[in-house]
Amino acid sequence: MEDIDLQIQSLIALSQTGDRAAYGRLLALMAPRLRAYFSRRLQDPADAEDLVQETLIAIHTKRETYNPALPFAPWVYGIARYKLIDHFRRRGVRRHVPLEEAGEILAESDTEAGATRADLNRLLARLPARQRGLLEDVRLRGLTIAEAAPRHGYSEGAAKVALHRTLKSLSASVAADED
């Protein structure tokens, strides 16, 4: 863990005990990280700044829900991600990241990537082992359906159908979670 991450962890622990100075330092440390997060995703700096403020307010209002036994940054980036999704919904913007690109997203080494990885793992954990294995082999590892199907006890045709249904189910599950 970086020094800044250790500092953030100690500041959140102190702030949860009522240390206002630590809480102020925590928010001051998080603001530039959030600004960078939103700036990479938005063209308008004013929108990015608005989302930084909305996220800091959400952190403030939801701070009691944070579990200090868990890393703080993924919790913050989860809030930031939902603020960004809300922003895109208000603007009527639809962003789509194909599941095929999930491997590239997960290869990043920053904190945000860790949050994304945790979200993907949580999503895949909802699937039965056989479907999860097929999906991981085809969409994340790059195997063809013909290569992956026998590994998981499917015929090629059944694997195509199972993969389609699995992706449709996951998509519906994510949409339900966002509502």
User: Alpha carbon of 14 to those of 9, 76, 150: distances in Å?
Assistant: 9, 17, 54
| Cα–Cα dist 95/156, whole Å | 31
Q: What is the mean pLDDT of residues 66-84?
A: 85
- Rounded to an integer, what distance in angstroms lies between the CA atom of residue 4 and that of residue 10? 10
Mean pLDDT of all residues belonging to the chain: 81
The 10s digit of each residue's pLDDT in 103-125 is 554 454 455 556 666 677 777 88
Q: Find the DSSP H helices in the chain.
A: 3-16, 20-39, 45-62, 72-91, 102-107, 111-125, 129-135, 145-151, 156-178
pLDDT value of position 106: 47
Q: Give yes or no for residue 102 having a pLDDT over 70.
A: no
Please count the other Cβ atoms lying within 10 Å of the Cβ belonging to residue 171.
11
In this prediction, residue 64 carries a pLDDT of: 81
Architecture of domain 3-91: Orthogonal Bundle (1.10)
Ordered by start, the domain boundaries in the chain are: 3-91, 99-178
Q: What is the pLDDT of residue 66?
A: 82
| CATH class of the domain defined by 99-178 | mainly alpha
**CA angle, 59 then 62 then 65, to 5°:** 120
Assess whether pLDDT exceeds 90 at residue 150.
yes
pTM across the whole model = 0.52
Radius of gyration for the alpha carbons in the chain, expressed in angstroms and rounded: 19
> What confidence tens digit (pLDDT) does each residue in 11-64 have?
888 888 888 999 899 889 889 989 988 988 888 888 899 999 999 999 888 888
